Structure 1
Amino acid sequence: MSKALRVGITLFRIDELTHGDMGKVLAMAEMADAKGVDMLSIPDHICFSSDAAKDYPMGPDAFPGTLDEPWYEPLTLLAAIGARTKQILLSTAVMIAPARTAVMLAKQLATLDCISNGRAVPVFGAGWQRAEFDSQNLPFEGRFTHMEEQIQVCRALWSGGPQSFQGKFVQFEDLWSYPLPVQGAALPIWLGLSPSPRNIERMARFADGWLPAMESLEKIKETRDKLSTSLEKHGRDPENFDIRSSLIPVPHKSGGIDFDATFAQAENMKAAGVTVIDTAPTLLTDRLDDLEMILDRLVALRE
Structure 2
Amino acid sequence: MIFCLEAAVEFGVSTFVTDEGIRPAVLGKALEERGFASLFLAEHSHIPVKRETPWPGGADLPRQYYRTLDPFVALTAAAAATERLRVGTGIALVIQRDPIHLAKETASLDLVSGGRAVLGVGAGWNREEMRNHGTDPTTRMRLLRERVLAVKELWTKDEAEFHGEFVDFDPVFCYPKPVQDPHPPVLIGGSGPTTFDRVLEFGDGWMPIYGRGTDALPDQIADLRDRAGRELPVTIFGVPPKPDVIAALAEAGVNEVLFNLPTEPEGETLDRLDRIAAQCLPQ
Query: How does the TM-score come out when normalised to structure 2?
Result: 0.87
Q: Give unmatched runs, 5+ long, in structure 1.
A: 250-261
Matched, 1:79 2:73: no
**What percentage of aligned pairs have identical amino acids?**
22
In structure 2, the residue matched to 1:257 is: none
In structure 2, the residue matched to 1:287 is: 268
In structure 2, the residue matched to 1:187 is: 184
Kept in 2, the 8 Å contact 1:247–1:263? The answer is no
Shift of 1:182: 0.4
Shift of 1:114: 0.6
* Count of paired positions: 276
What amino acid maps onto 1:134 in structure 2? R
Give the alignment partner of residue 269 of structure 1, picking from 249, 259, 265: 249
**TM alignment of 1:1-303, pairs within 5 A:** 4-12=8-16, 14=17, 19-20=20-21, 22=23, 25-52=24-51, 54-58=52-56, 60-61=58-59, 63-66=60-63, 69-196=66-193, 198-213=194-209, 214-215=211-212, 218-232=215-229, 237=230, 239-248=231-240, 262-282=242-262, 287-297=268-278, 300-301=281-282
Shift of 1:27: 1.2
SS in 2 for 1:280: strand
Quick one: distance in 2 between partners of 1:68 and 1:268?
29
What amino acid maps onto 1:8 in structure 2? G
Quick one: distance in 2 between partners of 1:222 and 1:165?
36
Residues 73 and 283 (structure 1), Cα distance of their counterparts in 2 relative to 1, 3 Å cut:
closer
Kept in 2, the 8 Å contact 1:188–1:208? The answer is yes
What amino acid maps onto 1:116 in structure 2? S
In structure 2, the residue matched to 1:253 is: none
SS in 2 for 1:55: coil
Cα deviation, 1:35-93, whole Å, max 9, x if unaligned, reads: 221110111111112343x52252652x4413884111111111111111111111112
What amino acid maps onto 2:239 in structure 1? L
Quick one: distance in 1 between partners of 2:22 and 2:240?
27
Query: How does the TM-score come out when normalised to structure 1?
Result: 0.82
Q: Give unmatched runs, 5+ long, in structure 2.
A: 1-5
Residues 87 and 216 (structure 1), Cα distance of their counterparts in 2 relative to 1, 3 Å cut:
same
In structure 2, the residue matched to 1:259 is: none
CA RMSD in angstroms, aligned pairs only: 2.7
Structure whose residues are more often strand by fraction: 2
Quick one: distance in 2 between partners of 1:225 and 1:71?
35
Kept in 1, the 8 Å contact 2:119–2:185? The answer is yes
Kept in 1, the 8 Å contact 2:55–2:125? The answer is yes
Cα deviation, 1:105-162, whole Å, max 9, x if unaligned, reads: 1111111111111111111010122222232233333111111112211211111321
What amino acid maps onto 1:6 in structure 2? E
SS in 2 for 1:8: strand
Quick one: distance in 2 between partners of 1:57 and 1:200?
23
Quick one: distance in 2 between partners of 1:100 and 1:268?
35
Structure whose residues are more often helix by fraction: 1
Kept in 1, the 8 Å contact 2:118–2:185? The answer is yes
Residues 20 and 287 (structure 1), Cα distance of their counterparts in 2 relative to 1, 3 Å cut:
closer
Quick one: distance in 1 between partners of 2:247 and 2:31?
22
Shift of 1:207: 1.3
